[in-house]
Chains A and B, each alone.
Chain A
Amino acid sequence: QSALTQPRSVSGSPGQSVTISCTGTSSDVGGYNYVSWYQQHPGKAPKLMIYDVSKRPSGVPDRFSGSKSGNTASLTISGLQAEDEADYYCCSYAGSYTPWVFGGGTKLTVL
């Protein structure tokens, strides 16, 4: 199973919005509504930000939102803040043989 495709980097100024894409296939992203997104600050463990494509765990600001169209999922962060600067990874369920596949990660820089 190949990794999901994410842009290596994105950037935005405080207060702006950015969108990170995550492209897979009909066997993973397109086949299931089980896409999740994780935020990782340097030297820290990943933290769940979005699950089931668009649901937010309690405690995650509503500035974070997720969506999906076909084989591509997206994470949108609105009202960018300095603390949003981190790496972001998407993950999708991919069926029973190799259940989970991650994206390569996107580095978000807040200018």
Chain B
Amino acid sequence: QVQLVESGGGLVKPGGSLRLSCAASGFTFSDYYMSWIRQAPGKGLEWVSYISSSGSSIYNADSVKGRFTISRDNAKNSLFLHMNSLRAEDTAVYYCARETGWRFDPWGQGTLVTVSS
């Protein structure tokens, strides 16, 4: 079945870096756009970044522009989010999600990133 599994979250100090991964299975990964979406504790969902199927087109939310970089490895069915200059307000559960048409389906289970000294 279609599955997305995130990893790489953890505790990091302000100003630090982290790389999140999302392993895809059960579908032809290279055919789909992918996104990262985050949810701060007790808060709503916030779209962070998306990447086209080939990786040639990338868009980022203003809140992470210049700090976060999305990438993918279609040969390894993997999506990444490289996060630099992390701030306390980046603390959240980060979900990867497949873009199917104009919707997100499915979502991974999420990985928690905590930015704290």
Q: Which residues of A contact B (CB under 8 A)?
A: 3, 32, 34, 36, 38, 45-48, 51-52, 57, 89, 91, 93, 96-105
Contacts and interface: CB of A to CB of B under 8 A. Distances in A.
B32 interface: no
A3 B44 contact: yes
A56 B37 CA distance: 22
A99 B103 contact: no
A34 B102 contact: yes
Contacts, number: 62
Nearest to B35: A100
Nearest to B110: A45
Interface string B25-64: 0000000000101000000111100100000000101100
Contact of B95 (A45, A96, A99, A105): A45
Contact of B62 (A47, A93, A98, A100): A98
A89 B104 contact: no
B18 to A, nearest CB: 20
Contacts of B46: 102
Nearest to A37: B103
A89 B44 contact: yes
A48 B44 contact: no
A98 B104 contact: no
A3 B106 CA distance: 22
Contacts of A47: 106-107
22 contacts: A36-B103, A36-B104, A45-B108, A45-B109, A45-B110, A46-B45, A46-B104, A52-B101, A89-B44, A89-B45, A91-B47, A91-B103, A96-B59, A98-B47, A98-B61, A98-B62, A99-B47, A99-B59, A100-B35, A102-B46, A103-B44, A104-B44
A46 B72 CA distance: 22
